[in-house]
Amino acid sequence: MQIKHIFFKYCLRYFIGFLIVLLACVPIIVVSHSIIERKVLESNWLRLEEGVNEIDQNISKMAFIDNIISANTHFNRLIHTDGFLLSNQYMDLVYARDQLSEFGYIYTFSPYFFVLFQNNDCYVSSYQCSEFFSKNYYPTFLNTTDQDGNSMDAKSFKDFLFQTSSSYVQLDSITYYQNSSAHTLTQPILYIPTYTSILSPHEKEYRLVFVLDSDVLMRRLLTEDSLNYGFVQIQDSKGNIIFRYGNEVSLLDNSSKTSGLISGVNDSYHLLSYQAEESGWDVTIGYPQSLITNEVSLLMNIIAFYILLGIFAVLILTLFYSYHQYSSVKKLFTVVPDDKKSLAVCSRNEYETLSRVFREITQNTHRYKVQLDQLDQQNRIIMLENLIVRGITTKEERAQFETFFSTSTDYFCVVLIKMNVPNPDDYQPTLLCIVEYLKANYPNDFVNVHSSPSDELFLLSLNPSDAPNVQSIRKLFQTIASALSDDTGTTFHIGISAIGTDIANINACYHQAKQVTQAFINEPKNIIEIYNIEINAVHENVVNPEFLTKLYNLLLCGEQDGIEKLFSRMITYYQKMPMQYEDQKPQIFYSIRNVIFSAGLHLSKDNLPKDFLPSYRMNDTIRMMSNRLLESASQICSLINRGHSDKRLETKDNILQYMEDHYSEVSLSISHVCRQMNISEKSLQQIMKEHTGETFAASLERIRVTHAAEYLLSTTWSNEKIAEATGFAAVSTFYRVFNKVMGMSPGSYRNTHAAIQNSSNMKS
């Protein structure tokens, strides 16, 4: 095998791999094309929807203006005037023009609108008015041509408006004067409101005409790029065609589609339709396929650029990784021993060469295995020592620990032996005697590790029947210590931990055994003692009167987070003291359960859930028991918090009712209400803001203004008397607050509603 061939082989392999990844991007290109086309159509449809809705809103406003005009006194006088105006009616004509001028700010689509009357020759627009429309005004200030391009005189134009039965008519052009200059609109649409109601009984006696600029309409419905290439058709609610725009709009005559793709002479068009809710306009636009193609071509150019860039990157990566692999293989062959280089000559590739080399090396596996086993045993001993001393915190460490025992280690204890051996050479034989004696006389599993020059750790597993105490283990080590002390003169200080019930607490047992040996470190005789958990841990017991009092207060306050932290500290403590937990389990459970029950007495029996108090379970761990008690405490917290919320809502209702009953009192203030409700000002403001969204002052102003408005409409009282009756200290304050809340002065409010009432009475 020649080394130089390896480089070319890797080049070919990596190039093919990278090329496959690059080709996998082709479906992305296809999907991108479809996404862009869909996005373009969606943007045009959204433009159509927004434009139609905006037009629809303006048409609704125009119909609303027609209703207002029909109810206007000045317009009604003009409507009922036959022939020429009387001298006292000229001001009605001026007032009507001013009224139309004010309406010009309500809508945006009609640049020009006017009113003609059937019984007289009056004319009113937003800028001009005339009593001689046919003689003087038309065609000097207004000129129109019909759809065929024929010029219309004043009479034909007026007859055309009054005789048409459609709300929308189209002209070829209209010229009008506005701001002292002439304006000409081509293909305008005239909108004549036909909405009838009780307020507009004179539908046939006048015509309100809005001129809609078709160019403005098209710019609302079409995007800038489709104005010159697309088409638009507008139909009213009866199916009559109002307006058409575009060279190929006639395609809609032969198509029943409201959406989809149709073919034209010069292009294909996507049909998009939308119908207005109020006016009933049905608008259909044709968006050219060529515009979508132009946008997609930009993406294709970008993708083509990135494809070329990708091919270049493929070449660079191929060379880089090929050389990287080649250099690694080359280094491998340079380090092959001289007596093994002959293997490469007869090999077909580098893998066969490596196979031959490794086959030679594996012939010494037995020697390597013995060395690895010794190293593994040392590592296991070190690992076990770390687990005992440092503790077990993860699932992986628990699994590692369990590999040292053939049976379950649900119960265990730790024994720490400090040996003071007069002759150092006797240390190992003494330790060996201890281990052999335990193997012969201890029925369960055990392991031992060397933790310091004179300390030995023994971990002994226990049967459940041996769990109540460790006296048998103490007797066993007493026998060992007595025998070896007599033979070697060794002094033993042996500490035996309490029984552990979870290997996660093994380090706690280690510290218990260590604490015992340190207590007798200066004793010159053999000491074999057991850690007394009750004596050493009584001052650390967390479930005490202080704990229970704090839990009770947290429950009444609904402090869920504080309760969870309290339980978490309790769990942490008892996990470190498993024996103390086992001894005091019933006392712990019923103490906490009684506190939860006492807190539940503050709630009504109807609100308490059934069986909300958990029952005692003998086999529960501290975490299992705490979780069940915490769940019960959480239920009580939720119910207490709900009761607090209901009480705040009731307080809000009482506050508002008190304000309604005493709004006429000038001295009514937040401090006065707080004294009546027996709450603080801060609490009152919080309740008002939370449930009404207003401050106390804003709510009081709103209540007083509401009653003042009722007095304005139902009485003839003066503003001073109404201000006094509604609790305002001064008339100026009454004016200011009323204008702020109602948006107008008290006098305007009374006059406006009086005019509306008079108009309604006249019509009835």
pLDDT digits (tens, 9 = 90+) for 442-455: 888 888 887 667 78
Q: Are 674 and 630 in contact (CB under 8 A)?
A: no
Which pLDDT belongs to residue 576?
Answer: 66
pLDDT band at 157 (very low <50, low <70, confident <90, very high): very high
pLDDT band at 189 (very low <50, low <70, confident <90, very high): very high
Tell me which of 244 and 1 has the higher pLDDT: 244
494 CB contacts (<8 Å, ≥6 apart)? 415, 416, 417, 418, 477, 481, 517, 526, 527, 528, 529
Average pLDDT over residues 161-190: 89
Q: Are 474 and 458 in contact (CB under 8 A)?
A: no
Pairing of strands 231-235, 527-530: unpaired
**Angle subtended by helix axes 560-576 and 622-662, to nearest 10:** 170
pLDDT band at 122 (very low <50, low <70, confident <90, very high): very high
- Eight-state DSSP code of residue 422: S
Rounded CA-CA distance 641/638 in Å is: 5
Rounded CA-CA distance 193/202 in Å is: 12
Query: Which CATH number is 663-763 given?
Result: 1.10.10.60
Which pLDDT belongs to residue 175?
Answer: 92
Q: Which runs of consecutive H residues, i.e. helices, occur in 110-213? A: 154-163
Q: Are 527 and 492 in contact (CB under 8 A)?
A: yes
Average pLDDT over residues 498-526: 77
Q: Are 387 and 397 in contact (CB under 8 A)?
A: yes
3-state per-residue secondary structure call for 249-318? HHHHHHCCCCCEEEECCCCEEEEEEEECCCCCCEEEEEEEHHHHHHHHHHHHHHHHHHHHHHHHHHHHHH
Which pLDDT belongs to residue 197?
Answer: 42
Separation in Å, CA 405 to CA 13, 393, 443, 461: 51, 19, 13, 8
Across 43-47, 512-516, 535-539, least confident range: 535-539
- Amino acid at position 602, single letter: H
Which pLDDT belongs to residue 245?
Answer: 86
Q: Work out the burial of residue 232: count CB atoms within 10 Å of its CB; fewer than 13 is exposed, 13-18 middle, 19 or more buried.
A: buried
371: left (phi over 0), alpha (psi -120 to 50) or beta: alpha
Closest listed residue to residue 212, CA positions, set 345, 347, 86, 59: 59
Rounded CA-CA distance 187/560 in Å is: 72
Rounded CA-CA distance 99/126 in Å is: 8
Where are the chain's structural domains? 46-290, 373-531, 541-628, 663-763
Which pLDDT belongs to residue 536?
Answer: 47
pLDDT band at 229 (very low <50, low <70, confident <90, very high): confident
Quick check: 467 pLDDT over 50? no
Q: Which of 24-28, 505-509, 656-660 has the highest mean pLDDT?
A: 656-660
Paired residues of 191 in beta bridges: 168, 210
Quick check: 564 pLDDT over 50? yes
Average pLDDT over residues 202-228: 83
Question: CB 430: neighbour CB atoms within 10 A?
Answer: 20
Quick check: 344 pLDDT over 70? no
Quick check: 628 pLDDT over 90? no
Which pLDDT belongs to residue 697?
Answer: 86
pLDDT band at 457 (very low <50, low <70, confident <90, very high): confident
Which pLDDT belongs to residue 211?
Answer: 92
% residues pLDDT > 70 (the chain): 79
Q: Are 221 and 210 in contact (CB under 8 A)?
A: no
Rounded CA-CA distance 231/188 in Å is: 17
Q: Which runs of consecutive H residues, i.e. helices, occur in 391-528? A: 395-402, 427-441, 471-488, 506-519
Which pLDDT belongs to residue 496?
Answer: 87
C-alpha angle 611-614-618 in degrees, rounded to nearest 5: 140
What's the sign of the alpha-carbon dihedral 402, 405, 408, 409?
negative
Rounded CA-CA distance 387/560 in Å is: 36
Which pLDDT belongs to residue 539?
Answer: 43
pLDDT band at 329 (very low <50, low <70, confident <90, very high): low
Which pLDDT belongs to residue 459?
Answer: 85
Across 59-73, 319-333, 415-429, 621-635, least confident range: 319-333
Rounded CA-CA distance 20/34 in Å is: 23
The pair of structure tokens assigned to 706 is 């509401």
- In this structure, which topology does domain 373-531 adopt according to CATH? Alpha-Beta Plaits (3.30.70)
Average pLDDT over residues 600-625: 77
C-alpha angle 316-322-325 in degrees, rounded to nearest 5: 140
pLDDT band at 569 (very low <50, low <70, confident <90, very high): confident
Expressed in angstroms, the distance from the first to the final Cα of the chain is 113
Quick check: 233 pLDDT over 50? yes
Rounded CA-CA distance 385/405 in Å is: 15
Quick check: 240 pLDDT over 70? yes
pLDDT band at 348 (very low <50, low <70, confident <90, very high): low
pLDDT band at 641 (very low <50, low <70, confident <90, very high): low
Separation in Å, CA 315 to CA 13, 19, 119: 12, 9, 89
pLDDT digits (tens, 9 = 90+) for 663-680: 888 888 888 888 888 887
User: Pseudo-torsion of CA 291, 294, 296, 300, nearest 10°?
Assistant: 170
Enter the pTM of the model. Answer: 0.42
% residues pLDDT > 90 (the chain): 6
Which pLDDT belongs to residue 85?
Answer: 86
Which pLDDT belongs to residue 634?
Answer: 83
Look at the block and give the residue holding tokens 């005091």. Answer: 584
Q: Are 449 and 388 in contact (CB under 8 A)?
A: yes
162 CB contacts (<8 Å, ≥6 apart)? 116, 118, 204, 207
Across 348-357, 500-509, 747-756, least confident range: 348-357
Q: Which of 1-5, 118-122, 198-202, 662-666 has the highest mean pLDDT?
A: 118-122
411: left (phi over 0), alpha (psi -120 to 50) or beta: beta
